[in-house]
Amino acid sequence: MKILDVIHDANANLWRSKLRSFLTILAIFVGSFTIILNSAINAGVNDFMDKQIANMGGDGYLEMMPAETYDSLASMMGSNGPQEYTDDKDSANASTYLKEEQIEKAKKIDGVKVFNVLPNSSADYITSKKTDKRYRINLNLVVEGIKFDMSNGETPKFEKDAPYEIAVNEDLAKALGYENVADIVGETVQIAVPKNLACYTAIKRSECQEIIDVKVSGTQAPGILSMGGSRANLSLWNRINAINYEGMPAETNRSYQATADVDPEKIDDIKAELEKIGLKAMSVKDEAGMFQSFFDAILVVFNIFGGIALVAASIGIVNTLFMSVQERTREIGLDKALGMSNGKVFLSFSAEAIMLGFWGSAFGIIVSMVVGNIANKVAVETFLKDFPTFQLTIFEPWTMISIALTIMFIAFLAGTLPARRASKKNPIDALRYE
Amino acid sequence: MKNVLLSTRDLKKVYGKRDSKFEALKGIDLDIQKGESVAIIGKSGSGKSTLMHLLALLDKPSEGHITLNGKNTSNLKQRKLNRLRNKEFGFVFQSFFMNANDNVLNNVILPLKIAGVRRSERRRRAMEALKTVELDDKAKNKAKDLSGGQKQRVCIARALVNNPKVIFADEPTGNLDSATGAKIEELLFNLNREKGITLIIVTHDEELAEKCDRQIRIADGKIVTDGKGVAKHDPSFIEDENLDGMRDRNHTKEIDVEAE
Tell me whether residues A339 and B79 touch, CB distance under 8 A.
Answer: no
Q: Answer yes or no: do A238 and A103 share one domain.
A: yes
Cα–Cα dist A285/A52, whole Å? 10
Dist. CA A261–CA A267, nearest whole Å? 10
Q: Note whether A159 and A224 are same-domain residues.
A: yes
**pLDDT in the model for residue A362:** 96
Asked if residue A170 and residue A224 are part of one domain, the reply reads yes
Chain B residues with beta carbon closer than 8 angstroms to that of A334: 97, 110
- In A162-266, which residue ranges form alpha helices assigned H by DSSP? 170-175, 196-201, 234-244
Mutate to test the interface with B, among A338, A342, A346 (most CBs of B within 10 A): A338
Kindly determine whether residue A341 and residue B99, on different chains, have CB atoms separated by under 8 Å: no
* Residues A129 and A48 grouped into a single domain: no
The answer on A147 and A123 residing in a single domain is yes
Query: Is B78 close to A342, i.e. CB distance below 8 A?
Result: yes
DSSP A187: -
Judgement on whether residues A28 and A119 belong to the same structural domain of the protein: no
CB A50, CB A223: distance < 8 Å: no
Of B58, B258, B33, the residue nearest B166 (C-alpha): B33
How many domains does chain A contain in total?
Answer: 2
- Cβ of A337 within 8 Å of Cβ of B91? The answer is yes
- Based on the domain organization, do A160 and A232 belong to the same domain? yes
Determine how β-strand A279-283 pairs with β-strand A209-220.
Answer: unpaired
Q: Which residue of B has its CA nearest to A434?
A: B95
- Nearest-CA distance A336 → chain B (Å): 8
pLDDT of residue B204: 84
Whether A334 contacts chain B with CB within 8 A: yes
Last residue of a domain, one of A237, A259, A283: A283
Half-sphere exposure of A325 (CA within 13 A, CB side): 25
Q: Which helix (H) or strand (E) holds A64?
A: strand A61-66
Answer whether A341 sits within 8 Å of B79, measured CB to CB: yes
Are B91 and A338 inside 8 Å of each other by CB? yes
Is A339's CB within 8 Å of B58's CB?
Answer: no
Q: Does A339 touch chain B (CB under 8 A)?
A: yes
Domain extent, residue A218, equals: 61-283
Q: What is the pLDDT of residue B248?
A: 43
- Give me the domain span that covers residue B253: 4-259
Looking at the fold, whether A244 and A298 belong to one and the same domain comes out as: no
B→A interface, C-beta within 8 Å = 53, 56, 58-59, 78-79, 82-87, 91, 93, 97, 99, 101, 110-111, 113-116
Query: What CATH number should be reported for the domain holding residue B57?
Result: 3.40.50.300
For A337-398, the DSSP string reads HTT--HHHHHHHHHHHHHHHHHHHHHHHHHHHHHHHHHHHHHHHHTTTTT-TT--S----HH
Q: At which of A283, A310, A342 does a domain end? A: A283
The verdict on a CB contact (< 8 Å) between A339 and B91 is no
Q: Are A189 and A176 in contact (CB under 8 A)?
A: yes
**H or E, element range at B39:** strand B37-41
Which residue in A191, A131, A145, A144 sits closest to A166, CA to CA? A191
Domain boundary among A246, A266, A283: A283
CA distance, residue A6 to nearest chain B CA (Å): 10
Mean pLDDT of successive 10-residue stretches along chain B, which has 260 residues:
82 86 88 91 86 90 89 88 91 85 90 91 92 88 88 90 91 86 89 91 88 90 78 45 42 37
| Bridging pattern class, strands A229-232 and A138-141 | parallel
Residue A339 to residue B111, Cβ atoms within 8 A? yes
Residues of B in contact with A330 (CB under 8 A): 97
- In total, how many domains does chain B have? 1
* Residue of B113, B144, B154 best to disrupt the A interface, most CBs of A under 10 A: B113
A35 CA to chain B: closest CA distance, Å? Answer: 37
Mean pLDDT by 10 residues, chain A (434 residues): 85 88 94 92 85 75 78 61 60 58 81 78 87 85 73 84 89 88 91 86 85 91 64 87 82 69 84 84 76 81 89 92 91 91 93 94 95 89 77 89 94 94 88 73
Residue to test with chain A: of B48, B49, B60, B82, most A Cβ within 10 A: B82
